[in-house]
Amino acid sequence: MSRLPLLLSPFSRVARQTLLLMLLVMAGAVSAQTLSEVTLPVADRSTEARGATLRAGLEQILVRLTGSRTPDTVPGAAAMLDAPESWVAQYGYVGSNDALQLQARFDVQAISDQLARNGAPVWGAARPPVLLWVVSDRGDIHSRDSDANFMQALHSGAEARGLPLLLPVMDDTDRARISASDIRGRFDRQLREASRRYDSPLSATVVYYTSGRPSLRWRIVQEGSTLREGQLNADSEAALARDLADTLADFMADLYAVQGSEARLARLEIDGINSLGDWQSVRTYIARQAGVRDVALGRLDGEVAELRLDFAGDSAQLERLLTLSGDLQRCAAQPVSGELAPATALTDGILLRLCWTR
């Protein structure tokens, strides 16, 4: 009983609210399970039926890992699809008779490595959630608890693409900062203020229309600036939601998927390394990004670590990938960076300087 007043204190309510937001962001981040597992109907337990279903499952995995809606056209994918069993880590059956399903978990790391060797695009597992502000032409802003058919279809389409979504809580704090009319009217100051509460680099606004043929208007916004926008039409609300999920996933894959089999040497400076734990966290985070290979410590001078790594993309893409984490951000004093140096030579200047803020 002695703890009850503390739990009801204003500070405790703020702390619980902050914890809730942290959990929401974590829930929005894509998980290894989301990327690697599929469940599909299968005709029976025969080898032929299993092989055909595993091929269909591998196609889904390739869509998630490359960002391409046509994985059979991806370099090297045809050979992989001819032997889908080679890329399966585990499979099993659930259900029976007409409801029999095959559950499979694929080795996404091995698949990603093979795609990279073939020069195919690879969209890594470190994917930022897109903060969605969704309204209908007559309704309120949809929250994370919305069970509207449109939202269910949108979540299903996003899961199929491996796209993490984050929806607002829409509690008193959100309602004090933004309204459905702000979304419809494109009032970006209100949108910017409401979005700052959530740890997502990009926001998307969606207004969908419930009368006539299903249609919607969408925008992708970063700090009040519209990066891309458009309109969609479909024959049903569910198809419209799936098209929106594809559109958002295509945009994110264009930003973050790394394509190229030839890695080039890059030098980074990371400031704010205060312990061995910091160094290990930084190295692990950088090493798991798509296109990054062979991360090594060049030198450690006080709180500044110089890293040498091979990267298959360009410098702008490397910065986008590394700053997905709020813990690793561009420093105030950023040296001028150029193109990545060839693998056989090292430039005198630092390609990129980032600060570890954890």
Question: Comparing 92-96, 99-103, 349-353, which segment has the lowest mean pLDDT?
Answer: 349-353
Instruction: Return the pLDDT at 67.
Output: 95
Q: Is the pLDDT of residue 89 over 60?
A: yes
Ranges 12-21, 186-195, 297-306, 340-349, most confident: 186-195
The Cα 194–Cα 201 span in angstroms is: 13
Helical residues (DSSP H) of 38-185, grouped into ranges: 47-66, 77-82, 108-117, 149-161, 172-177, 180-184
- Residue 26: pLDDT band (50, 70, 90) is very low
For residue 71, the tally of other CB atoms under 10 A from its CB is 22
Q: Is the pLDDT of residue 292 over 90?
A: no
pLDDT tens digits along 332-354: 755 444 444 443 333 444 578 89
Q: Is the dihedral of CA 278, 33, 319, 311 positive or negative?
A: positive
Report which of residues 288 and 345 the model is more confident about: 288
pLDDT over 90 percentage in the chain: 54
- Residue 44: pLDDT band (50, 70, 90) is very high
The Cα 269–Cα 272 span in angstroms is: 10
The Cα 45–Cα 103 span in angstroms is: 12
Taking residues 21-39, report their average pLDDT: 60
Ranges 255-264, 294-303, 332-341, most confident: 294-303
Report which of residues 27 and 248 the model is more confident about: 248
Taking residues 69-76, report their average pLDDT: 91
The Cα 153–Cα 239 span in angstroms is: 8
What's the Cα-to-Cα distance from 137 to each of 91, 140, 227, rounded to whole Å?
A: 44, 9, 23
Arithmetic mean of pLDDT over the chain: 85
Q: Nearest CA to 92 among 30, 37, 162, 48?
A: 37
Q: Which long-range contacts (CB under 8 A, 24 or more apart) does 215-224 make?
A: 215/240, 216/240, 216/244, 218/244, 218/247, 218/248, 219/186, 220/130, 220/248, 220/251, 221/188, 221/191, 221/195, 223/192, 224/188, 224/189, 224/191, 224/192
Report which of residues 88 and 290 the model is more confident about: 88
The Cα 249–Cα 258 span in angstroms is: 15
Taking residues 10-29, report their average pLDDT: 41
pLDDT tens digits along 200-213: 889 999 999 988 89
Question: Comparing 32-41, 92-101, 315-324, 347-356, which segment has the lowest mean pLDDT?
Answer: 347-356
- Residue 224: pLDDT band (50, 70, 90) is confident
The phi, psi pair for 147, rounded to 5°, reads -115, 20
Q: Nearest CA to 192 among 179, 181, 177?
A: 177
Within a 13 Å sphere around the CA of 106, how many CA atoms are in the beta-carbon half? 31
Instruction: Return the pLDDT at 50.
Output: 97
Taking residues 177-206, report their average pLDDT: 94
pLDDT tens digits along 109-142: 999 999 988 989 999 888 889 999 999 998 999 9
Taking residues 272-286, report their average pLDDT: 88
Instruction: Return the pLDDT at 6.
Output: 30
Encoded amino acid at 350, one letter: I
pTM score, two decimals?
0.79
